[in-house]
Every structure is written in C-alpha cells, then in structure tokens.
Amino acid sequence: MANESQSQNSAAFNEGTRRDKGKDAQKINILVAKAISNSIKSTLGPRGMDKMLVDEFGNVTISNDGATILKEMAIEHPIGKMLVNLAKTQDTEVGDGTTSAVVIAGELISKAEFLLDENIHPSIIIKGYKMASERAVEIFDSISEPIVLEDKELLLNIARTSMTGKAFEYSSLLSKIVIDSILEVNTKENLDFDRDSIIIETKLGSSLSETQLIDGIVLDKEIVHPEMPKDVVNAKIAIISSALEIKEPETDAKIQITSPDQLQSFIDQEEESLKNMVDTIKRSGANYVFCQKGIDDLAQHYLAKEGIVAIRRVRQTDVEKIAKASGAKIVTRINDLSDKDLGTLEHIYEKKIAGDNMIFIEGLKLKKYITILLRAGSEQVLDETQRTLNDAICAVISALKVGKYVAAGGSSEIEVALKLRDYAKTIGGREQLAIEAYADVLEVIPKVLSESAGLDAIDTIVNLRSKHQDPNNKFVGIDVLGGRLYDMKELNIIEPLNVKTQAVVSSYEVVEMILRIDDIIAAFAKNKGPMMPPGGMPQMPGI
C-alpha cells in the first residue's frame, strides 16, 4: 500500500520534479535562513564589519547596511528572498534596524530547529512565538521614554546612534545636518514628516566635512546654452515633459528629395517648427524651462535669444518636486502651454561645484524642500554615507512619529528578555518553551555587540541579566566603543521605539511563514538542474 501511494504521489507531478517533505523540507529552509542571518551578523553595531560585494559587471559595493547587503547578494532561494523582503520592509517602515530584524529572524529559526528536534509541533512553536512577540511589543513600549520635536538634543542623539560605525568621524557634523533638515521642513504647526521633503544630492570631490545644507532644491544639471542668464530672480517656471525637438516617425519612413530647393524647404520647415515651440513658451510668459527630455540645438539658440533659460533631461522625481514647490503644471504638449500652467520661484542660479555646474533653486513658496549636498572623496564613501544619512533621517522621523525612544546597546533587549521569561512561567505547557526560546533570541543582539567590543559574550550576558534585576538599571547596556557595561541613556545612545517593535513583528511574521512549510515542490525545465541538489543542501547563489 505504501509503495502504491508513493507511486500515485509521484505520478501527480511532471517528470524531473523534486519534492522534499516533512523534516527534510524544514531542515532545508532552516539551513538557508541561518546561512543568510549569519552572513550579515558581523555588521551589527558601531564596530560592525563592512561587506564588499562585487556584481557580475565588476561594480563594487562596500556597506554594513543589512538591506543593501542582502539586495546586492542576488539571493535566488525562496526562503532567502523572504528574508530580503523582511529587510526591505524594515527599511521602508522605519529606515533602520534592518540587520537586527534579519538576525532575530535567523535566530528564531535556529531555536525552532532545536524545538522541532524535541518533537514539538511547528504550530505550537508558532503559537508561542506569536504570544512572545506580542508581549515583547508591549514591554518595549512600557520601557520607552517620550520625545517631541522640541527635544533637539535627544533627536541629535538618535541620529548619532543610527550612524555610529558608518561615518563615525563626521557623525557630529552629519547628525546636526540631519536634525536641521528635519526641523526646517517640520514645525510644531506643520508636522507632515514627509521624507521626500529632504533631498540628498551627491557630488564627488572634496571631503565629508564639506557637506552642506541648502534651503531649496539642488539639481546636478547645467544650463543648456552659454548665452542664457545664469542667475534669475522671480522666475516664471514652465515644466515640459515632452522634447523640444522634431519628432522622428514611429515607423520607418523614406523622404525623397530631388533638388536643393526641396532640401532647403525641408530644413526651413524644421526650423519653423522649433521656432513655433519657442514662441509658444515666450507667449506664455515663461522665462525658465525645465524639460524632462532633450532640447534641440536650434531650439536652445532661439530660447537664448529670447532670454529664456532651459534645463534638459530633468529626472521625473525632480520635476514633480519643482512642480509642487512652484505651483507649475507639468505640460505634455508644448502647444497647450499657457500662462495658467506656469509657476513661480524666487531665485534660481547656476554654481560650479567640483568643476561641474549645478542648479540651485531657492525661495520655495508652496512646498518646502531641503537639500543635503553630500561631498566625499570616493564613490564608495559617497554611496555608503548617502545610505547612512538616509537611515538617520528615517530613524529620527520614526521617533517623532511614534513619539517614543528606547535605550540602545542591547539594554532594551535584555530587559524585554527578562520580562518575557517571567511571562513564560505564567503560560505553562509547551508554549512556555517557545516563549523562553524567543527570550534567548533577543539576547543575540547584546551578544553580538559584546563580541565586537572584545568582551566575553557569556560573561557579558550573565552580568547584564544580573544588573537588570534592579529596576534602576533598566538602561544598562554595552558601551561597545568603551568595552564596558554602562547606562546607555547617560551615554546618549538611544533608538526610536518602532525600530525595535517593527523588527520584532516583521521577523515573527516571516518565521511563521517559514515554519508552516512542510513540503517543497521544485519543478524545473528539461536539461536544467534542480534548484536544490540531492541530499537537501540548498544551492545558495550569492552567499
């Protein structure tokens, strides 16, 4: 009967389909999750190490940002992709804590493997993990402290903590720029927390110390014609999404010209068409044009003669920002342009930065934008610092949105872990084992931090547990740079509450999905190998 059932089961799938069931499927998924988690664990904390990633074209990315590393690793395994999406979700929602989220998920899977070996059913583990994650969120909230927009020093500390270990030498300068940018676009009367209001524009050359804050929008573009004005006050803005060029036919076409007069007539018609475009712009009253596409050389000439400034091939995102700031409408057909479509900007000028011209737009009326003009001496430093600034901005905005922060350095994780163990005793049953395992998982954060600080991990965790028995020591964590246990709040090492809670919630959801899988059916085309080789060892491209 068993052979007959197996035969019927195999007949249900195409030839060559590979199937792993039960514990074999679970072990494959657990192995993949642990491998990915371990690959980025060493990047955690202020002394976390960087990863160098080289893609198939030889492009190099150096980073210790979890989301960036996982994205560049080109992971193909479905479980790996789930963890990549976990990092993306953490990055999108709160902008920081991506490494912590993936490490926690990997450790939850690792602990689940031990519980499965003890013959505890996956549904029991999932139930215990769910209870623990919900309770952990409550405990994190109970040990948090309030923060408001006026607490500039606290906001600075959150920004510094976010970027510690990434741009440490310039963290004071960059954190001040981050806070100033947020306070410029958010006031007590107008709290919109729009991340898009803060633009990061990069320019290679000089050093990070030359990074500056510009009250307005900066474009890495230049004016298209040397005879156009370089500095315009009270500019009338036209935004055009189509090209100021003669359109080529969409299909192959042949024009037969049999005489010089016909050729001249053809050229004259093109010139006339371009001149009509420029005349339309002039009649509208515009003296500054932002064009998303190209501008013909002859059109540039006519625009310059009329004293109209033009910028070409402006990015869609920049065009939308300029439209919001000026009140201009984005026009698709030039012939439809009128004075009703124009916007106004107080001051636009061209300035040379690192040998290249850039456009500075200041005096925005309708929508506030702030630009951080980031400078660095190498492409890799520029890219990594841009990611660092983005994380810091998102972290501070997250703290303001939720209005609370917690102590960092592993102090909050230890506090939550201790309270979770007390909670587990009130539950009983097999779920208690899963809750206790969850508490152990949270301690992986201070454990990794202690290792990077050169401390003995086991002794450090034991000492932290002992200190946190006293309610007055709930902020004691690991001072990684000082290599000691210390009050994190006193050292001003703090993080937004939702960086912790989002990591806890998201990691549980991913782990739940992984643990529910007990059957892997992998179909592949003929003459192609399986996604997983015999023996259950998963193929791990990019790791």
Task: Give 115-135 pLDDT, tens digit per residue.
Answer: 988 888 889 999 999 999 999
Q: Which of 99, 164, 371, 460 is catalytic?
A: 99
CA distance 182 to 7: 65
Please state, rounded to an integer, the average pLDDT across all residues of the chain.
Answer: 84
Query: Bridge partners of 244?
Result: 295
Q: Which of 341, 391, 440, 479 is catalytic?
A: 391
Q: Is residue 89 among the annotated active site residues?
A: no
Of the listed ranges 21-25, 340-344, 421-425, the one predicted with least confidence: 21-25
| Residue 368 backbone phi and psi in degrees, to 5 | -80, 130
Instruction: Sort strands 484-487 and 212-214 into parallel, antiparallel or unpaired.
Output: unpaired
Structure tokens at 88: 């993306």
Other C-beta atoms within 10 Å of 6: how many? 10
- Measured in residues, the chain has a length of 543
| Cα dihedral 69, 315, 93, 376 sign | positive
Q: Is residue 98 among the annotated active site residues?
A: yes
pLDDT above 70 coverage of the chain, percent? 85
CA distance 334 to 281: 8
Which helix H or strand E contains 203, and what residues bound it?
strand 198-204
Q: Report residue 454's pLDDT band, with 50, 70 and 90 as the boundaries.
A: confident
Q: Is residue 297 among the annotated active site residues?
A: no
Q: Which of 43, 68, 89, 98 is catalytic?
A: 98
Q: Which of 20, 65, 96, 296 is catalytic?
A: 65
Which helix H or strand E contains 298, and what residues bound it?
helix 297-305
Q: Report residue 64's pLDDT band, with 50, 70 and 90 as the boundaries.
A: confident
Q: Is residue 391 among the annotated active site residues?
A: yes
Domains of the chain: 15-145+407-522 (1.10.560.10), 149-212+371-402 (3.30.260.10), 216-362 (3.50.7.10)
Of the listed ranges 59-63, 79-83, 374-378, the one predicted with least confidence: 59-63
Cβ neighbors of 258 (< 8 A, separation 6 or more) are none
Give yes or no for residue 251 having a pLDDT over 60: no
Q: Rg of the Cα trace of the chain?
A: 29
Residue type, 315: R
- Give whole-number Cα distances, 504 to 65, 185, 228, in Å: 18, 31, 56
Which residue, 243, 324, 323, 234, is CA-closest to 285? 234
3-state secondary structure at position 501: helix
CA distance 438 to 110: 11
